[in-house]
């Protein structure tokens, strides 16, 4: 290799080494940092000039790099040894590395320039900060990275005056004027709320009904229905009169409070009669309001009041009069029982055959007639039972063949005869059967006893077999 060629190769490699030592990335980073600080301060023009200058420097270095690459490439044709080739390859690698670094730095500077340019375009419109300025910016620079931010601010600024006013008319105007504004949904919700408050402030059922008719899909429709029901009922509830509730039911038959209103009508109709609490009052109520839901309660109370008058007297005559006047009263059975008891009481106190016979004739339907019959039989048997001789017992059987105590007398008579035979004939006589006595088939009523001895009563005389008179005992 001649000296001249060798010197050219070494020069090219030396240039690459010196160029690489200038560190374009480091210089570019410093420039970007300075430009960012200028942008932060709002000095976009100075930042733009700085970045342009840095771009020019990087482009110059890039052109130098390309020139050096061509020199190295042409040197390869004159290589005569491996050492020369190694030196050239070393220079080529350094050249490529520098070129890649320059490309990267240029890309970052270009990006910064584009961003700064966008800021320069956006800044005057943003400074005005009006819906119209942002709209103009979007129209003029549709590809700007600030279009999204500009749209958001434009939409908010369009909505702001209507939001501040907060009137139904304003929200309606906004919805019609800016149908594509994302705030329309919020405006609709606020419109509904504002309208609802406007109608609600009137405080009438008609206002709520009008609101529901005009805005059936409103988010406040459910609350409006509740208030409409309330406003329909409240004035009538405050009046609290039968006429008022009747008008309410006629005007609003489907109102959920109709049941309460009907109950109140019933109570108001019934209360004055209930306060009087007399038979005449309850009768008048039932005649005036036969379909009133409280009619059953009034009828029950009427029966109690009617019965109380006669119950207070507590005489057979009073209870009979009550039964004659009110045969269908729920207290008729109680009155009938008390009447029968009082009718029987006097004769029971007399306790004579004649008295009980008179009772049976006088009150043949009385509950105690059967008991009186038994008491008569007891009184008839009592004087015979006291003597208990065969002759007397036989006379009783003959004189009172239908008396239930005939069986008792017959058994007593047989017992006496059996005892006599045992005394005279020995044990065999006890096995003989007594002769049949007329009326032997009669049975004593359940509960009767030979030992029963009713108290004697004046005038209840029964002839004993010896001819003497004996009072029932």
Per-residue model confidence as pLDDT tens digits over 387-409: 889 999 999 999 999 999 999 99
pLDDT for residue 51: 80
d(CA 170, CA 194): 10
> Of the given ranges (119-133, 349-363, 432-446), which has the lowest mean pLDDT?
432-446
3-state helix, strand, coil in the chain (%, to 5): 75, 0, 25
Per cent of the chain over pLDDT 90 is 55
Task: State yes or no: pLDDT of 368 exceeds 90.
Answer: yes
What are the tens digits of pLDDT across the range 447-458? Answer: 433 334 444 444
In a domain, 303, yes or no: no
What are the tens digits of pLDDT across the range 297-347? Answer: 999 999 999 999 999 999 999 999 999 999 999 999 999 999 999 999 999
In a domain, 33, yes or no: yes
In a domain, 236, yes or no: no
Residues sharing a CB contact under 8 Å with residue 202, sequence separation 6 or more, in sequence order: none
What are the tens digits of pLDDT across the range 136-173? Answer: 999 999 999 999 999 999 999 999 999 999 888 899 99
Query: Which of 128, 154, 178 is the endpoint of a domain?
Result: 128
Task: State yes or no: pLDDT of 363 exceeds 70.
Answer: yes
Return the ∠ at Cα 44 (arms to 43 and 46), rounded to 5°. Answer: 70
d(CA 292, CA 264): 11
pLDDT for residue 443: 40
pLDDT for residue 422: 66
pLDDT for residue 110: 85
In a domain, 278, yes or no: no
What are the tens digits of pLDDT across the range 185-204? Answer: 999 889 888 889 989 999 99
Query: Which of 82, 104, 128 is the endpoint of a domain?
Result: 128
pLDDT for residue 409: 95
Query: Which of 80, 110, 128 is the endpoint of a domain?
Result: 128
Residues sharing a CB contact under 8 Å with residue 387, sequence separation 6 or more, in sequence order: 464, 465
In a domain, 79, yes or no: yes
For residue 27, name the pLDDT band (cuts at 50, 70, 90): low
Q: Return phi, psi of residue 395, to 5°.
A: -65, -40
pTM given for the model: 0.52
In a domain, 353, yes or no: no
Dihedral over Cα of 25, 30, 31, 37: its sign: positive
Closest CA to 282 of 264, 309, 300: 300
> What are the helix (H) ranges across 141-257?
147-165, 168-177, 184-200, 205-214, 221-239, 242-251
Contact 295, 284 (CB under 8 A): no
For residue 467, name the pLDDT band (cuts at 50, 70, 90): very low
Number of domains the chain is built from: 2
In a domain, 459, yes or no: yes
In a domain, 175, yes or no: no
d(CA 330, CA 73): 133
Measured CA to CA in angstroms, residue 150 lies from 136, 141, 184, 209 at distances of 10, 11, 18, 44
Tokens of 359: 């009772």
State the pairing for strand pair 461-463/469-471.
antiparallel
Residue 87 sits in a domain of what CATH number?
A: 1.20.58
Mean pLDDT of the chain: 84
Q: Provide the 3-class DSSP secondary structure of residue 398.
A: helix
The domain containing residue 7 runs over which residues? 3-128
Q: In DSSP terms, which residues pair with 461 in a beta bridge?
A: 471
Q: Provide the 3-class DSSP secondary structure of residue 22.
A: coil
What are the tens digits of pLDDT across the range 68-82? Answer: 888 888 877 777 788
Residues sharing a CB contact under 8 Å with residue 212, sequence separation 6 or more, in sequence order: 221, 224, 225, 228
Residues sharing a CB contact under 8 Å with residue 107, sequence separation 6 or more, in sequence order: none
Phi-psi region for residue 434, left (φ > 0), alpha (ψ -120 to 50) or beta? Answer: beta
d(CA 303, CA 332): 10
Dihedral over Cα of 89, 94, 99, 101: its sign: positive
Dihedral over Cα of 230, 235, 240, 244: its sign: negative
DSSP for 263-309 reads HHHHHHHHHHHHHH-SHHHHHHHHHH-TT-TTHHHHHHHHHHHHHHH
> Of the given ranges (117-126, 225-234, 319-328), which has the lowest mean pLDDT?
117-126
Return the ∠ at Cα 333 (arms to 332 and 334), rounded to 5°. Answer: 90
Q: In DSSP terms, which residues pair with 463 in a beta bridge?
A: 469
pLDDT for residue 92: 86
pLDDT for residue 364: 96
pLDDT for residue 346: 92
């Amino acid at each position: 290799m001649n000296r001249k060629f060798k010197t050219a190769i070494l020069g090219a490699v030396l240039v690459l080494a010196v160029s690489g030592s200038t560190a374009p990335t480091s210089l570019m980073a410093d420039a970007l940092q300075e430009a960012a600080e200028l942008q932060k301060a709002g000095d976009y023009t100075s930042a733009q000039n700085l970045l342009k200058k840095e771009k020019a420097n990087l482009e110059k270095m890039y052109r130098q790099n390309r020139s050096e690459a061509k020199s190295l490439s042409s040197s390869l044709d004159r290589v005569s040894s491996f050492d020369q080739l190694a030196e050239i390859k070393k220079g080529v690698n350094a050249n490529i590395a520098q070129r890649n670094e320059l490309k990267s730095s240029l890309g970052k500077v270009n990006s910064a320039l584009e961003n700064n340019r966008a800021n320069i375009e956006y800044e005057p419109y943003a400074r005005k900060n009006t819906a119209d300025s942002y709209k103009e910016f979007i129209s003029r620079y549709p590809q700007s990275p600030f279009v999204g931010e500009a749209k958001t601010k434009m939409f908010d600024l369009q909505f702001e005056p209507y939001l501040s006013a907060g009137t139904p008319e304003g929200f309606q105007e906004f919805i019609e004027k800016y149908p594509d504004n994302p705030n329309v949904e919020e405006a609709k919700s606020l419109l509904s709320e504002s309208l609802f408050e406007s109608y609600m402030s009137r405080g009438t059922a008609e206002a709520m009904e009008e609101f529901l008719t005009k805005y059936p899909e409103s988010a406040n429709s459910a609350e409006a229905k509740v208030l409409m029901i309330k406003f329909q009922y409240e004035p009538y509830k405050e009046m609290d009169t039968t006429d008022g509730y009747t008008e309410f039911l006629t005007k609003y038959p489907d109102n959920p409070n109709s049941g309460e209103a009907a109950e109140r009508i019933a109570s108001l109709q019934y209360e004055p009669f209930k306060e009087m609490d007399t038979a005449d009052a309850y009768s008048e109520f039932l005649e005036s309001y036969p379909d009133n839901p409280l009619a059953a309660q009034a009828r029950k109370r009427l029966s109690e009041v009617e019965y109380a008058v006669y119950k207070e007297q507590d005489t057979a005559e009073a209870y009979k009069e009550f039964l004659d006047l009110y045969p269908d009263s729920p207290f008729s059975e109680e009155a009938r029982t008390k009447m029968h008891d009082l009718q029987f009481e006097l004769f029971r106190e007399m306790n004579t055959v004649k008295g009980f016979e008179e009772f049976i004739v006088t009150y043949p339907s009385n509950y105690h007639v059967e008991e009186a019959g038994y008491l008569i039989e007891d009184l008839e048997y009592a004087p015979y039972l006291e003597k208990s001789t065969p002759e007397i017992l036989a006379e009783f059987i003959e004189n009172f063949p239908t008396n239930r105590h005939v069986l008792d007398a017959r058994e007593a008579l047989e017992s006496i005869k059996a005892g006599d035979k045992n005394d005279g004939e020995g044990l065999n006589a006890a096995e003989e059967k007594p002769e049949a006595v007329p009326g032997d088939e009669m049975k004593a009523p359940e509960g009767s006893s030979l030992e029963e001895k009713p108290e004697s009563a004046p005038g209840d005389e029964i002839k004993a077999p010896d001819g003497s008179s004996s009072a029932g005992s």
